[in-house]
A and B are shown apart, each in its own frame.
Chain A
Amino acid sequence: QKEVEQNSGPLSVPEGAIASLNCTYSDRGSQSFFWYRQYSGKSPELIMSIYSNGDKEDGRFTAQLNKASQYVSLLIRDSQPSDSATYLCAVKVGYQKVTFGTGTKLQVIP
């Protein structure tokens, strides 16, 4: 089992809709979770971090964490074509290491 799993997609949503991206992780001791956005040919950009169970909102983005079920999700409200990118889930595993999922490609259709 991979440490961090994401559906590779592509996930296609119409402009203005809510995009829901999901990630599961295997290490129950994980405490820090991150979402990165990566445009094609560019480097990952941190958009959200979450440490506690529940929801964390930042503008159009909401990160949701459920440690009991070992999943973390990212909701993007009012999706825009500029949100089209690959979204990487990352989980802090152990003392120093952060493990990344392989990413979900999101396409927002105008």
Chain B
Amino acid sequence: DVKVTQSSRYLVKRTGEKVFLECVQDMDHENMFWYRQDPGLGLRLIYFSYDVKMKEKGDIPEGYSVSREKKERFSLILESASTNQTSMYLCASRTPGTHLYEQYFGPGTRLTVT
């Protein structure tokens, strides 16, 4: 079974803090993703990485950055947290290929910025 883990289930941070969200997968997947999920807006892609040290912006990258130094680990960084970044953050990974685009999600981190 694919296992994707995230560093925290719940996190409370103050406005202006730098926040690190970590994601680790154990299936040697090359592609990893960060999404945020908000009521009524669904899942929105923040960034994704298709290999170590490679990254691409998703639909809503503003205010975020990412780091992928090792294949199994993909970090999301909130440079200066703001209240509008309060959300559920979901990491996912998948095997690449023309057909297999099935993504597997971690348990999520519910971040509250006060």
Answer whether A and B are interacting partners: yes
Q: What residues make up the interface of A, taking CB atoms closer than 8 Å to B?
A: 32, 34, 42-46, 49, 51, 88, 90, 92, 96-98, 100-103
B19 at the interface (CB under 8 A from A): no
The answer to whether A43 touches B105 (Cβ under 8 A) is yes
Interface centre among B41, B42, B90 (most CB of A within 10 A): B42
Residues of B34-54 at the interface with A, using a CB-CB cut-off of 8 Å, are 40-43, 45, 48, 50
Known: A32-B101, A49-B102, A96-B50. A43 touches B108 (CB 8 A): yes
The 9 closest A-B pairs by CB, nearest first: A102-B42, A100-B43, A43-B105, A43-B108, A92-B101, A32-B101, A44-B105, A100-B42, A43-B107
B64 at the interface (CB under 8 A from A): no
Please tell me which one of the listed residues B50, B99, B101, B105 contacts residue A45 in the complex, with CB atoms under 8 A apart. B105
